[in-house]
Chains A and B, each alone.
Chain A
Amino acid sequence: MKKWICVICGHIYDEAAGDPGGGVAPGTRFEDVPEDWVCPECGSPKSAFEEYTG
């Protein structure tokens, strides 16, 4: 399971945790997150995320 970071606000999307509040179930790979999903912290689009290795 990978983690992804929003380059606008630093919010981390953890594939293991998903984003239940945004309708994304735990265990959802980032590639499978719907294209219209937005960062729960700042509202930026999915394209603002990069893989997080920190």
Chain B
Amino acid sequence: MTAPVANPIGRAEINGLIFNPYSKDFIRNPDPVWQRLMKDFPIAWHKDLQMWLVSSHELCDKVLKDNRFSPNFRVWELAPPPKAEADKNDFDFAFEKGFFAVTPKEHLRLRKLTMPAFSKPVMGKIDGKIRDLVEDCFNAIGDAEEFDVYETLANKIPVRSIARMIGVDTNMEEFFHEFAVSVIKSTRINLGVKERDAAMQGTLPGFKYFREQIAARRALPHPGDDFLGSLVGATDNGEKLDDYEILSVVFALITAGSDTATDLHTFLIHGLLKNPDQYELLKQKPELMENAIIELLRYGSFGKMPFFRFATEDIEFAGQHIKKGQAIGVNIQSAWHDPAKWENPNTLDITRRLDGNIVFGAGAHFCIGTYLVRVQGMLMLKEFMKRYPHAELADGDGRIDYEYTHHNARRINKLIVKTNAKTARKAA
């Protein structure tokens, strides 16, 4: 065992040699790194990333449920100085009103007003709205003997689903996709200031578009029963959401359900086909679907960068002194593989009891898109199983490849599935 490196004040420290989320080896095979972090450095200051890294399930869970650790990057000691009011743009105003920036009290109010739009019953109805989008993606595959999951499904279903949900026209999908990527990049503190600023500028046409959409809804006698309409019409004790609060929700929906869900689809299929016994079991017991999706997310653990939190005060935590303003990387991907929490963490078991999991986070900032993710994943997998019950990974590994420079995820950008559809038909 390697002991944590202690600096003169007794702080446990690591560096990029121990955890480098951009390393190709890590992206291809992250588990050895995670296991080492959890065993030897469950909490340590990362000298190269300039943040604390918390890696065990127990500590990640604690940080996520402790409101002294804020997701508001304005609390960060290295945050750029706030802009003058006159220099602020739509991005700044939406961010300031958003889930990650407001006080805990304001956050609860926002969640109350927006919860109806994201709740399980409402998301269940989304099923009918996006089913044809999913079927269209599969129809485009047709009778092919092989297809690339990334190109045909993962790169298309999430962004089209979100666009449909918000009411964006089909012919504006590319515009929306650019907006979505820019929104996500604008929030990543691991990116340089210039890259973040450029991404922020890239969001402005999208914000302008949605402001116009909101204004149009407000002008109607009834704003509508769809997602945007329910936000425009939401009330709590006479209070309503203002434009920037609604934009901040669109912002959250994009970060929760668009770019991240791209990885959902590739990792769901990869995990199942890599474990044919589990694929067989799911076909036999489709009632396991929701549990299977959460287990597949846990098993695949596709993120590479941790969640960010920032200390709002000096905090003694797990034997370390965290100073006000310091960043904390909550390495939930490693926590999902923590052997102290999960028996045989590297085994996919779709019947696993997942009580206490933090696959969608925990505490006040629990993933608002959780049910949307499940609905989308279920629709895709059901269609996949129906059409390709004998599918397997091409050449054993799906000729898998990764986008090593992705800002956030261990993104699979090539995964070839052999459908065996014609063979099965001939045999029948």
Nearest chain-B residue to A21 (Cβ)? B355
- Is the C-beta of A41 less than 8 angstroms from some C-beta in chain B? yes
Nearest chain-A residue to B114 (Cβ)? A7
Whether B118 pairs with A7 at a CB distance below 8 angstroms is no
Interface residues on chain B, number (Cβ under 8 Å): 23
- Interface members, chain A 1-54 (any B CB < 8 Å): 5, 7-12, 21, 40-44, 48, 50, 54
Whether B65 pairs with A10 at a CB distance below 8 angstroms is no
Chain A residues within 8 Å of B362, by CB: 42-43
Whether A42 pairs with B361 at a CB distance below 8 angstroms is yes
Chain B residues within 8 Å of A42, by CB: 360-363, 366
For the complex formed, measure the closest distance between the CB of A33 and the CB atoms of chain B, giving whole angstroms: 18
Q: A-side binding surface: helix, strand, loop or mixed?
A: loop
Known: A42-B361, A43-B65, A54-B121. A8 touches B366 (CB 8 A): yes
For the complex formed, measure the closest distance between the CB of B58 and the CB atoms of chain A, giving whole angstroms: 13
Nearest chain-B residue to A54 (Cβ)? B121
B100-134: CB near A (< 8 Å → 1, else 0) gives 00000000100110011011110100000000000
Chain B residues within 8 Å of A10, by CB: 115, 118-120, 123, 370-371
- Is the C-beta of B33 less than 8 angstroms from some C-beta in chain A? no
Chain A residues within 8 Å of B234, by CB: none
Whether A8 pairs with B111 at a CB distance below 8 angstroms is yes
Chain A residues within 8 Å of B370, by CB: 9-10
Chain B residues within 8 Å of A41, by CB: 366
Nearest chain-B residue to A22 (Cβ)? B355
CA distance A37 to B128 in the complex (A): 35
Contacts A/B (CB < 8 Å), 21 sampled: A5-B119, A7-B108, A7-B111, A7-B112, A7-B115, A8-B115, A9-B367, A9-B370, A10-B123, A10-B370, A11-B120, A40-B355, A42-B361, A42-B362, A42-B366, A43-B65, A43-B362, A43-B363, A43-B366, A48-B108, A54-B119
In addition to A9-B360, A43-B362, 15 A-B residue pairs with Cβ atoms within 8 Å of each other are A5-B115, A5-B119, A7-B112, A8-B115, A8-B364, A10-B118, A10-B119, A10-B370, A40-B355, A43-B64, A43-B363, A43-B366, A44-B366, A50-B112, A54-B119
